[in-house]
Amino acid sequence: MKSLIKLYLIIIGIFALIFALINLTGILSVADIQKYLSEIQHANPYKIAFIVAALLASDVFLSVPTILIVTYAGHILGFELGLIASTIGMLLSGTIAYWLCHWSGNKMLTILIKDKKQIDEVNSIFHRLGFGMLIIARALPMLPEATCCLSGMMKFNFLKFILYYLLGTLPYAIVLTYLGSISSADNPYPAFIGIGIVYLILYLLWYFKLRHSKQVDV
């Protein structure tokens, strides 16, 4: 289990570094995204939906603030269209991460973890627990991207990957787009409070999942 956690931390560290570099260089900051979404809120709804999906799909490369974009999608597009655009965008991001790491998985694994015994251990654990990790991956920032990358590296069955990832992504998208749809510039508190509750529940699920996994390994 330690090897899997180590691999998670390395991948999350890579995504955190990408996020920091993009913000430091000013290529695309959180403020830029907020400003851009505010500016296009009166455009054609389907055009906005496409932009939302594209922004979320680029998360694997740019580490965009998913929670902000999904909530904004609900606020600007309304619940139904915001939900569709957000879900498609997050699924695309996960799929891109999966296949990129699937194609280069063996090389990446040998670079990140040089010990073949540890690689076999991580592979065994992930195939046993991967479904749960994909479902609750939204518990922490950058965890979904890391889990999708690991799924690809470990050659996790793609159809199962999509199913489990959707099971974890859809409730997250439903809650956030709904909260965004009932919030306004004058009353953003429903979204803030709801986001906090969503993350707390997911974090607790993730914590107990890891704790249970350690007990099983012992």
Where do the domains of the chain lie?
Answer: 2-217
In degrees, to the nearest 5, what angle opens at C-alpha 200 toward C-alphas 96 and 163?
35
15 within 8 A of 59, measured Cβ to Cβ: no
Structure tokens at 138: 């939204």
Check the CA dihedral 188-193-195-196 and report its sign: positive
Structure tokens at 110: 């040998």
70 within 8 A of 176, measured Cβ to Cβ: yes
Q: Phi then psi for 114, rounded to 5 degrees? A: -80, -25
81-to-48, 51, 76, 137, 199 alpha-carbon distances in Å: 10, 12, 9, 24, 23
215-to-3, 5, 131, 136, 208 alpha-carbon distances in Å: 15, 15, 18, 19, 10
Please, which residues have CB within 8 angstroms of residue 10's CB and are 6 or more apart in sequence?
112
The residue assigned the tokens 């690809």 is 152
Structure tokens at 5: 């956690």
Q: Residue 166 has what pLDDT?
A: 92
What is the DSSP secondary-structure string of 51-120? HHHHHHHTHHHH---HHHHHHHHHHHH-HHHHHHHHHHHHHHHHHHHHHHHHHHHHHHHHHH---HHHHH
- Size (the chain), residues: 218
Q: Residue 83 has what pLDDT?
A: 96
Q: Residue 107 has what pLDDT?
A: 73
- Prediction pTM value: 0.81
From first to last of its 218 residues, the chain has per-residue pLDDT tens of 677 777 778 888 888 888 778 777 767 777 778 788 888 888 899 999 999 999 999 988 887 888 889 988 998 999 999 999 999 999 999 999 999 988 876 677 777 777 777 777 777 877 777 777 888 788 777 888 889 998 998 888 999 999 999 988 998 899 889 988 887 655 556 666 766 777 677 667 666 665 665 554 54
